[in-house]
Chains A and B, each alone.
Chain A
Amino acid sequence: EAQVTQNPRYLITVTGKKLTVTCSQNMNHEYMSWYRQDPGLGLRQIYYSMNVEVTDKGDVPEGYKVSRKEKRNFPLILESPSPNQTSLYFCASSLLPSGYGYEQFFGPGTRLTVL
């Protein structure tokens, strides 16, 4: 089954404790991205990757890191989480960027709470 998987689905952590949210897709997609969803703000892009070893900042990259060492995986790293990073996070992938008309396939989401 074609899908984007994320782990963990739920995470409660404390300020400053490094964490990684994994993302993997099995559709051989070139483009992957991370979004955060906050009430009243919709989804905002954090980072994206055009291909292996090619990553770039989205609209809200502060406090996050990513890496793309393999085509299928695109982990999101919070080196020192803070309470304002409490949010619902989505990983997404598509064959090419949506500017080419490709819809993005989203993972199930990770609900992160930083205390």
Chain B
Amino acid sequence: AQKVTQAQTEISVVEKEDVTLDCVYETRDTTYYLFWYKQPPSGELVFLIRRNSFDEQNEISGRYSWNFQKSTSSFNFTITASQVVDSAVYFCALSESPDNHNDMRFGAGTRLTVKP
């Protein structure tokens, strides 16, 4: 069964601090996709990144970076020099093979608060 664990329920940092959001997943499939979504206080869900199981390269997008490590089944998300606008709930999600149409399994989310 799929499972995504985001052990950090809430994190609070001061602006300009770096912060890492952890995501650990479980799957028996060799082909799968991992996603991160952001849910700002306004409530919508915003897609941030997708990573397939065969691509372990880390990715950087501005102040955001993602570290995918299959050896530890983790897909962690780091925000560098955090800003107040980064305050949101962040969800990690897993999708297994296309034969499984019961789509994405989400973690419980991590609420990040960035204080000025």
B104 to A98, Cβ gap below 8 A? Answer: yes
Which B92-116 residues have a C-beta within 8 angstroms of A? 93, 95-104, 106-109
Chain A 29-55: CB-based contact to B (< 8 A → 1; otherwise 0): 001010100001111110010100000
Q: Mark B63-79, 1 if CB is under 8 A from A, else 0.
A: 00000000000000000
Residues of B within 8 A of A31 (CB): 103
User: Given that A98-B104, A99-B33 are known contacts, is A42 also in contact with B109, CB under 8 Å in the complex?
Assistant: yes
A residues in contact with B25, CB < 8 Å: none
What are the residues of chain A within 8 A of B108 when measuring CB–CB? 40-42
Contact A98 B103 (CB under 8 A): yes
Interface size class of B (residues with CB under 8 A): 20 to 34
For the complex of A and B, the 4 pairs showing the least CB-CB separation, nearest first, are A98-B95, A42-B106, A106-B45, A99-B98
Cα distance A48–B101 in the bound complex, in angstroms:
8
Interface residues of A (CB under 8 A from B): 31, 33, 35, 40-45, 48, 50, 56, 58-59, 88, 90, 92, 96-101, 103-106, 108-109
Q: Which residues of B contact A96 (CB under 8 A)?
A: 98
Where the two chains meet, the residues of B that have a C-beta atom closer than 8 Å to any C-beta of A are 4, 6, 9, 32-33, 35, 37, 43-45, 47, 50, 52, 91, 93, 95-104, 106-109
**Chain B interface helix/strand/loop/mixed:** loop
Is B50 a contact of A103 with CB atoms below 8 Å?
yes
Contact A45 B44, CB 8 Å, known A97-B98, A98-B33, A103-B35: no
Q: Is the CB of B35 within 8 A of A58?
A: no
Partner of A43, one of B47, B96, B106: B106
B106 and A44 within 8 A (CB) = yes
What is the CA–CA distance of A49 and B35 in the complex, to the nearest angstrom? 21
How far apart sit A109 and B60, CA to CA, in the bound complex (Å)? 29
* Contacting pair A99 B103 (CB below 8 A): yes
